[in-house]
């Protein structure tokens, strides 16, 4: 049986051409001519590349999870031809009409041509969607079957299975909108605005109570300092400080000073400057008043006379001690003259003794020489006195005896007398030194005393004062000055009392009245801020109301979307249900659970899908398909649903592109799938891509190859090796 090129009602695929696209270094065309097609070969020979070329040429991008939609040059141009222009062309036909779609990668140029009319750019994009009756999302859902689109149906996670069904049913966009529309967030924002308003209002109230309590405490302290209620305002503050300034000026005049009144103090921020001016005025009165000016020289004179009086006593005592030291020397050693005479006598005595010692030494030397002479030869006369010697007279022993006698007695006596004389002479010299030092000390003390007496004369205003009257004269002058100081001191004490009194008044103003006025001002500012805050709170409350209204509208929109999703999904499942059930029976052939039912079940905030199988539709036997079917049976069930949905979809394409439909399928299921595809291909164009040679054999047995264009891909290395077999 020969299949026509097109059924005259919808578009069928004529060819797909790729140029310098992925594994194709030059150009490769895959012809289908509106007939079913089969692309088969081992993994890595380019079967999926043909599907990618179809997808990219028509829409310029890929479904999520297939390939990235950025940096196309990195994965669409061949590895050995990076940077070279890559492009694709897809030709469709409907009756006598021909639709040519082309896309160039580097230039991003997109063209669409029907007959002699062509479009490019955005116009071509709009024309494509209008002519084909579907956008890219609908295309990959209803025309191109990829395992990634149904693989999540095999997962245990219900959310992932729901997402997979959303993609198959075209509900993923609605689900995305439901994810975006979050009325609860707006309700939370409204609650946050109101919570902010309440918190700020509470803070203002607490602050106002605190300020009121502080004001009351300040007023009580001010009343304790004799301030009146009429003073508790800026006018009262200004009046009180004006009075203080006038009283300070009057106090200055009282004590001989003339300075201006204090600057006006109409606001609490001026208190610091006024207080500094006030303290400066007090200091001026304290240091520069007439009383202080009169007291200053008296204090200076008293200090001078006191120092003179103390200095006179000290010097007089020192002079008396020097005089007493000389008197003590006289009492112990006699007059200095007598000591001088004794020293002279001792010096003469020492001279005599020295001469005697010298003579004794000369005699001893003479005897030693004579003894030496006698020992050498026997003399006839004495070698000392030259007198003749008797016969047999032994002169040597006599000389030795005389020499020893002279050394032991006479010289020893002379030495003893000399030592005593020297000791008495040293004592006399020491005493005379003390006499000299005493006289010098006494002379210096007397001179110092005279100089001090002259200072006392000058300080007391006299022309001369006897030594014995200096102390009395100084005491008289000090007593007179003390009387004057006492008299002035009473006046200064009274002035200090006046200064202390007015200082206490200023301190009472600063510590009593000023805090009251400050707190009143602070409370007034707080009330003004409170009025502004109320306006802001009203604004925030309005925002909260608008947020709540928006949340309510979004909730209504969300509910409407959920209702629409449930209705649309249910309608799609209802339309696809009979065909899916038919294919389920053929593909799965479960001996007991022969009925497939997929329903969209509304929940509070979502739509769940129940994917159940049962025995002859009995609810008592209904089970979750994931729990009772194997992975291969689930894959076959998912394919049955896809084919059912694809056949019930409304668009202008009359072909399906099925990429590798036999994953996880056993041989019987593959055989059933081949028969189902052969049966489907008699109603519409079906292009199948597979590496499963068993499945290829089953397709041939089922009669699919009799009607289809076969492309056997053997290599994909820049110049793909493809064996194409057209139907008989």
pLDDT, average across residues 552-561: 87
Question: How high is the pLDDT of residue 12?
Answer: 94
Angle separating helix axes 514-587 and 234-254, nearest 10 degrees: 140
**Tokens of residue 326, six digits:** 């000389």
Question: How high is the pLDDT of residue 69?
Answer: 62
Question: In what helix (H) or strand (E) does residue 299 lie, and over which residues does it extend?
Answer: helix 290-333
User: Please, which pLDDT band fits residue 57 given cuts at 50, 70 and 90?
Assistant: very high
pLDDT, average across residues 363-384: 66
For residues 129 and 112, give the distance between their C-alpha atoms in angstroms, rounded to a whole number. Answer: 11
- Of 56, 69, 68, the C-alpha closest to 17 is 56
**Tokens of residue 382, six digits:** 């004495």
Residues 498-508: pLDDT tens digits?
Answer: 999 999 999 99
pLDDT at 368 over 80: no
**Tokens of residue 561, six digits:** 């979307």
pLDDT at 392 over 60: no
Q: How far is CA 113 from CA 52, 53, 127, 691, in A?
A: 21, 18, 10, 34
pLDDT at 348 over 90: no
Question: How high is the pLDDT of residue 5?
Answer: 39
Angle separating helix axes 234-254 and 271-288, nearest 10 degrees: 10
- Average per-residue pLDDT in the chain? 84
The 3-class secondary structure across 440-502, one letter per residue, is HHHHHHHHHHHHHHHHHHHHHCCCCCCHHHHHHHHHHHHHHHHHHHHHHHHHHHHHHHHHHHH
Question: What sign has the CA pseudo-torsion 583, 589, 590, 594?
Answer: positive
Question: How high is the pLDDT of residue 2?
Answer: 35
Q: Are strands 655-659 and 144-145 parallel, antiparallel or unpaired?
A: parallel
Number of H helices, E strands in the chain: 21, 15
Residues 336-346: pLDDT tens digits?
Answer: 888 888 888 88
pLDDT, average across residues 587-614: 85
Question: How high is the pLDDT of residue 4?
Answer: 40
User: Please, which pLDDT band fits residue 260 given cuts at 50, 70 and 90?
Assistant: confident
Provide CB contacts within 8 A for 41, sequence distance 6+.
47, 691, 712, 713, 714
**Lowest-pLDDT range of 118-132, 154-168, 430-444:** 154-168
- What domains sit in the chain, N to C, each tagged with a CATH number? 1-143+651-667+682-694+702-728 (3.40.50.300), 204-291+489-551 (no CATH), 297-465 (1.10.287)
Residues 160-177: pLDDT tens digits?
Answer: 777 777 777 777 777 778
Question: What is the share, in percent, of the chain residues with pLDDT greater than 90?
Answer: 27
């Amino acid at each position: 049986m020969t299949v026509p090129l097109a059924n005259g009602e919808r578009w069928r695929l004529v060819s797909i051409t790729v140029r310098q696209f992925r594994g194709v270094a030059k150009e490769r065309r895959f012809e289908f001519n509106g007939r079913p097609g089969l692309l088969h070969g081992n993994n890595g020979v380019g079967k999926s590349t043909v599907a990618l070329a179809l997808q990219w040429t028509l829409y310029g991008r890929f479904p999520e999870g297939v390939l990235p939609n950025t940096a196309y040059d990195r994965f669409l141009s061949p590895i050995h031809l990076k940077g070279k222009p890559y492009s694709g062309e897809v030709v469709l036909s409907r009756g006598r009409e021909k639709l040519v779609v082309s896309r160039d990668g580097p230039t991003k140029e997109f063209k669409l041509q029907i007959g002699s009319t062509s479009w490019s750019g955005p116009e071509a994009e709009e024309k494509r969607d209008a002519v084909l009756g579907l956008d890219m999302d609908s295309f990959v859902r209803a025309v191109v079957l990829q395992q990634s689109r149904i693989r999540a149906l095999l997962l245990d996670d219900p959310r992932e299975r729901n997402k997979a069904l959303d993609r198959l049913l075209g509900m993923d966009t609605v689900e995305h909108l439901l994810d975006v529309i979050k009325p609860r967030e707006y309700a939370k924002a409204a609650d946050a605005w109101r919570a902010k308003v309440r918190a700020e209002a509470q803070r203002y109230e607490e602050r106002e109570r605190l300020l009121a309590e502080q004001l009351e405490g300040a007023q009580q302290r001010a009343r304790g300092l004799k301030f009146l209620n009429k003073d508790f305002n800026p006018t009262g503050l200004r009046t009180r400080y004006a009075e203080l300034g006038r009283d300070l000026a009057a106090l200055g005049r009282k004590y001989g000073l003339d300075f201006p009144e204090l600057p006006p103090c109409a606001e609490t921020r001026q208190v610091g400057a006024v207080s500094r001016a006030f303290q400066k005025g007090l200091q001026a009165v304290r240091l520069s008043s007439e009383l202080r000016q009169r007291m200053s020289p008296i204090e200076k004179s008293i200090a001078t006379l006191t120092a003179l009086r103390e200095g006179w006593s000290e010097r007089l005592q020192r002079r008396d001690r020097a005089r007493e030291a000389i008197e003590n020397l006289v009492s112990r050693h006699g007059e200095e003259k007598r000591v001088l005479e004794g020293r002279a006598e001792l010096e003469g005595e020492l001279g005599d003794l020295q001469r005697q010692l010298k003579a004794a030494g000369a005699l001893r030397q003479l005897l030693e020489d004579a003894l030496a002479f006698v020992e050498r030869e026997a003399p006839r006369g004495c070698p000392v006195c030259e007198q003749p010697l008797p016969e047999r007279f032994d002169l040597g022993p006599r000389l030795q005896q005389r020499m020893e006698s002279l050394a032991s007695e006479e010289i020893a006596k002379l030495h003893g007398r000399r030592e005593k004389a020297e000791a008495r002479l040293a004592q006399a010299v020491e005493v005379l030194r003390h006499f000299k030092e005493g006289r010098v000390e006494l002379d210096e003390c007397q001179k110092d005393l005279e100089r001090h007496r002259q200072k006392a004369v000058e300080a007391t205003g006299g022309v001369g004062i006897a030594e014995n009257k200096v102390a009395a004269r100084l005491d008289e002058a000090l007593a007179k000055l003390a009387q004057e100081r006492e008299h002035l001191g009473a006046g200064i004490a009274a002035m200090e009392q006046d200064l202390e009194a007015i200082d206490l008044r200023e301190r009472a103003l600063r510590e009593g009245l000023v805090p009251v006025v400050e707190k009143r001002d602070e409370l007034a500012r707080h009330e003004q801020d409170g009025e502004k805050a109320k306006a802001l709170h009203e604004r925030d409350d309005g925002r909260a109301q608008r947020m709540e209204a928006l949340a309510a509208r979004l909730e209504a929109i969300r509910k409407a979307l959920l209702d629409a999703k449930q209705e649309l999904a249910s309608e799609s499942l209802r339309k696809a249900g009979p065909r899916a059930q038919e294919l389920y029976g053929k593909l799965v052939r479960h001996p007991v659970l022969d009925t497939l039912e997929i329903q969209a079940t509304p929940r509070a905030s979502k739509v769940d899908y129940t994917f159940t199988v049962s025995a002859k539709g009995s609810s008592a036997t209904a089970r979750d398909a994931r729990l009772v079917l194997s992975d291969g049976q689930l894959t076959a069930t998912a394919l049955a649903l896809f084919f059912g949905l694809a056949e019930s979809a409304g668009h202008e394409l009359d072909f399906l592109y099925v990429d590798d439909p036999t994953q996880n399928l056993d041989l019987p299921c593959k055989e059933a799938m081949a028969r189902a595809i052969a049966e489907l291909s008699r109603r519409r164009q079906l292009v199948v891509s597979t590496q499963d040679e068993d499945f290829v054999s089953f397709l041939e047995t089922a009669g699919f190859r009799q009607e289809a264009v076969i492309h056997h891909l053997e290599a994909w290395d820049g110049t793909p090796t493809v064996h194409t077999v057209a139907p008989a």
